[in-house]
Amino acid sequence: MDLPQPDPDTPHLADVVPSVLAAMGVAGFDSRIHLRGDLAGACVLLVDGLGAELLDTYAEDAPVLAGLRGQALQVGFPSTTVAGLAAVGTGCRSGQHGMVGYSFRLPGAGVVNALRWRPHPWGDDLRDDLPPEQVQTIPTTFERAASAGVAVSVVSAAEFSGSGLTRAVLRGRAGADVMLYGLILILVISFLPHGLVGWFRSRRAATRRAA
């Protein structure tokens, strides 16, 4: 069996934030995805679980998003929330940031559930004994942006504020000490509670009943 091979010419999810910051003129970031330059600010919207194929399949149920459809990106491996958020937050791929799945084994700690930051399959909160910043040590793109003089905000559900995963891969300050660029980068993460496929199907069914 031939294993799938990544296409080196296709941009990766990890390239999104560095490319946005490069388009904003922030020093130290590479433009890996072609974007319009000289941006005054940017909002990156990440919808967890919404891939290009799913959007194409249900385009008529999400016409605004489908109308914004651009180039597809590689999500990397494994294609899980943890690895994807780590790619966005660090600008690195799984082999670099090390957040390689929903759960993974850490030396001296056993198998850890990265979404809940607890032992897998159950156990007590590990944030004190296993600080997320020591598990994933690469500075996040948001920390680097703030250090470069960009005001950074991460917007997500309140339940994720200060969570182990947030601290590991999305940490960053609300503002910069010295505003060199006067720019704001906002990451909005939207989680649909019952799954995107179910949401699309229920919406389609409701639309048909109304018709």
Q: How many CA atoms lie within 13 A of 171 on its CB side?
A: 17
Return the pLDDT at 14.
96
Number of domains in the chain: 1
Residue whose structure tokens are 């940017």: 42
Return the pLDDT at 67.
93
Return the pLDDT at 198.
72
Range of the domain at 117: 13-210
Q: Does residue 2 belong to any structural domain of this protein?
A: no
159 in helix, strand or coil?
A: helix
Q: Does residue 100 belong to any structural domain of this protein?
A: yes
- Please tell me the pTM assigned to this model: 0.86
Mean pLDDT, consecutive 10-residue stretches, the chain (211 aa), reads: 78 95 92 86 86 88 88 87 94 94 92 95 95 97 90 84 93 62 64 64 70 61
Q: Does residue 38 belong to any structural domain of this protein?
A: yes
Q: Is 108 left (phi over 0), alpha (psi -120 to 50) or beta?
A: left
Q: Does residue 123 belong to any structural domain of this protein?
A: yes
Return the pLDDT at 62.
85
Q: Does residue 8 belong to any structural domain of this protein?
A: no
44 in helix, strand or coil?
A: strand
Give per-residue burial for 180-204: e unless 16+ CB within 10 Å, then b.
Answer: ebebbbebebeeeeeebeebbeeee
Q: Does residue 157 belong to any structural domain of this protein?
A: yes
Return the pLDDT at 11.
94
Return the pLDDT at 177.
53
Find, among 93, 91, 95, the residue nearest to 172 by Cα: 91
Q: Does residue 7 belong to any structural domain of this protein?
A: no
